Each structure stands twice: as structure tokens, then as C-alpha cells.
Amino acid sequence: MAELAVAFGFSLFAGLSTGLGGLIVALKNTPSQRFLAGALGLSAGVMVFVSLVELLPEGVDGLSEAGRSRPDVWAAVAFFAGIALIAVIDRFVPEEINPHEGPDVRAAGRMRRVGVMTALAIAIHNFPEGFATFFVALQDPAFALPIAVAIAIHNIPEGIAVAVPMREATGSKWRAAWWATLSGLAEPLGAVVGYLLLRPFIGPEALGVVFAAIAGVMVFVSIDKLLPTAIETGRHHTAIYGFVAGMAVMAVSLLLLA
């Protein structure tokens, strides 16, 4: 039970960071474009590096331990299945309400009449991220910490994207902050639902597939959402430097944990 509580705590922490974005809007202290570019780039670097260097190999190892022939092939299949899953989710969110389809995370101020739909769109995107954070933390909490922090960082501008139109729609900055927080609760919900669905099947093979699929989800999130949003702030080099720094931080942390 303690392991489950810790893993759930990581997902809850990452999800509730959308509330920090809402709080920023409520306090009218909008982060600079340079900060957004660097923070989003850093998150993308952490998630890409850990996905390809740690999670995908973990998936291969799990499938190999389960006796699956050609575990590398099955891990690759699961990896691209994860990408396909999150891509389909992304496609089901109409462009006009998709908070990741604008040139600026703060451009959500133009979407006053679709504030609730924006919050729902964020929730849809956050669901598989909560699932990913939970399952990694369930296996190794120390390893999951940088992942949870990276997801939390990228959830802050998502909270801003929810809170700005909701502030315009409701006329209340604190109600807007609440909606931003509420949208992030899809992450711990994703953790619970994913665990309940997969609990009867948890074993080396299932975990191998899950880890490889999570790697795919995280890589897609990074290259489809984080890096483009970071670059579109107009601070291209800051975004790239943040991306490289994120990979370096993750590499050093993995070496220290080895």
C-alpha cells in the first residue's frame, strides 16, 4: 500500500501543477517568454532522454525476462503503439480548442467562449501522463522523481492556458484558477484507472509493454507539444539550450543512481 500511495502522490503532484499556472494568472504575474521557452525545453529534454535511454530498455528487459522472443521488436511495437494512442487522443481534440495548437500558450485569451472545453482538452491530454508517472513511480520512486518534475513544469503553462479563457468567461480569477487545478486532476485519475485496469495483468511482460508504450507517449508529448510551444515563444535558442540541459540533468541523475 505504501508503494501505491507514493506512486499516486507523484501523479497528484504533477497534475496539481496546473493549479500553479492558474495561480499565476490569478496573481497576474505572467512568466516571461524566455522562462517559458527554457522551462518547456528542459522538460522535453528530460522526457526524451529518459524515454529512450531508460524506459525503452526497461521495456525490452521486461519482455526478455518474460521469455518473449525478439523482445526488442515487441518493445518497438509497444513504443509506437504509445505514440499512436496519444496521437489519436490529440486528434480527437478540435484544433480551435486544443491548447497545444496555438502559437503561444497565452493565446488562450482569445478562447473566452470555450473555456470549459479548453479545460476538458487539457484533461484529455493529462490522463495518459498520470498513467505514465504512476507506473514508473510504482517500480522506482527515485527514478520517477525527475519525470514527475518534468511533467509538472510543462503542466504550468497548461494551467495558464485553462485559466486565461476561464477568467474571461467567468469574470473570476480565482474560479479560473480552480478550473485550471481541476483539469490537472485528470493525471491522478489516469493513474487510478490505469492501475485498476492493468492490476490483474501486472508482471514482467505487462510491465515491459507498459514501459515501452509510456516511452512512446512521453516522446510524442515532447516533440508535439513541449518543443514546438517552447520554440514558438520566439526564444528558439533558449528552448534548445533548455532541451540539452534537460538531457544533461537526466543523464547525470541516472549515473548517480546507477
Chain segment 46-85, per-residue pLDDT in tens: 888 888 988 899 889 989 988 888 999 999 999 999 899 8
Is 125 marked within a binding site?
no
54 labelled binding-site residue: no
DSSP the chain: -HHHHHHHHHHHHHHHHHHHHHHHHHTT-PPPHHHHHHHHHHHHHHHHHHIIIIIHHHHHHHHHHTT-SSHHHHHHHHHHHHHHHHHHHHHHS-GGG-TTSSSSGGGGGG-GGGHHHHHHHHHHHHHHHHHHHHHHHHH-HHHHHHHHHHHHHHHHHHHHHHHHHHHHHHS-HHHHHHHHHHHHTHHHHHHHHHHHHHGGG-SHHHHHHHHHHHHHHHHHHIIIIIHHHHHTTT-HHHHHHHHHHHHHHHHHHHHHH-
Give the span between the Cα atoms of 120 and 111, in whole angstroms.
13
Mean pLDDT in residue range 182-193: 85
The verdict on whether residue 237 carries a ligand-binding annotation is no
Written as nine digits, the cell of 151 is 511533467
pLDDT digits (tens, 9 = 90+) for 212-255: 988 898 888 888 877 888 888 888 999 999 899 989 987 887 77
Query: How close are the terminal C-alpha atoms of the chain, in Å?
Result: 26
What span, in angstroms and rounded, lies between the C-alpha atoms of 162 and 125? 13
* Model pLDDT, residue 200: 79
State how far the Cα of 211 lies from the Cα of 134, in Å rounded to an integer.
11
Q: What is the mean pLDDT of residues 176-202?
A: 83
Q: What pTM did the predictor assign?
A: 0.68
With 60 as the cut, is the pLDDT of residue 110 above it?
Answer: no
Please state, rounded to an integer, the average pLDDT across all residues of the chain: 79
Among 45-54, 107-116, 202-211, name the one with the lowest average pLDDT.
107-116
| Residue 181 cell numbers, joined | 487545478
The residue segments making up the domain with residue 197 are 1-257
Closest CA to 242 of 72, 41, 13, 67: 41
Q: Grid coordinates in use for 55?
A: 524506459
Q: What would you report as the CA-atom Rg of the chain, rounded to the nearest whole angstrom?
A: 18
155 is in an annotated binding site: yes
In the predicted structure, residue 97 carries a pLDDT above the cut 60: no
Query: If you average pLDDT over residues 109-128, what whole number do you get?
Result: 58
Q: Is 126 annotated as a binding residue?
A: yes
Judge whether 29 is annotated as a binding position.
no
What residue type is assigned to position 239 of the chain? Answer: A
Q: How many domains does the chain have?
A: 1
Cβ neighbours for 80, distance < 8 A, ≥ 6 positions apart: 216
